[in-house]
Amino acid sequence: MFLFGGILAAVPLWSVDPLPRVQSFPSRFIDIAIELQIHAVLGLTFLRIGRPIFDQYAVATNGIDPVYDQAVAGALLWTYAEMPLFLVLIICLARWFAQEQKSHKIKQSSEDAAMDSYNEYLLSLNDHDRLHKQH
């Protein structure tokens, strides 16, 4: 259930296909920050609680202490679950940078076209003034 919920929450972060509503990059980073906190709180809870959270797992199996097993699971959740999120964070930052570069190029080309048009207008005014001065 936790894995399924995490996958559903992370789809907007790493999806390359268009979604019904595209999430903005700042909201993606807020989503990542929230997911990092969820992993930290849940992992630390498992790590520090000192008793089995679920009664079904209170009995030692194969000689493994359930509290120790739960603490190891919490430590793994807290540490190793963060690595994929940092990877997603890096990918989101790279995508945001690429999108900004692309929009900057588009804006620059439209500004260049407007500047060229304005320069042609100034040249035509200059040519017009020269013709009037010659006559």
Domain edges within the chain? 2-107
Residue 36 to residue 32: CA distance in whole angstroms: 6
**Cα-atom radius of gyration of the chain, to the nearest Å?**
29
Strand segments (E) across the chain: none
Q: Give the number of other Cβ atoms within 10 Å of residue 42's Cβ.
A: 16
- Give me the phi and psi of 64, to 5 degrees please: -100, 125
For tokens 């000689």, the residue is: 63
Q: Give the number of other Cβ atoms within 10 Å of residue 74's Cβ.
A: 19
Task: Print pLDDT tens along the chain (135 aa).
Answer: 777 877 777 777 767 666 677 778 888 888 888 888 888 898 899 889 888 888 887 888 888 889 999 999 899 888 887 888 888 889 889 988 998 898 888 888 877 788 888 888 888 887 777 777 776
User: How big is the CA angle at 78 (ends 53 and 86), to the nearest 5 degrees?
Assistant: 150
| Tokens of residue 55, six digits | 């009664």
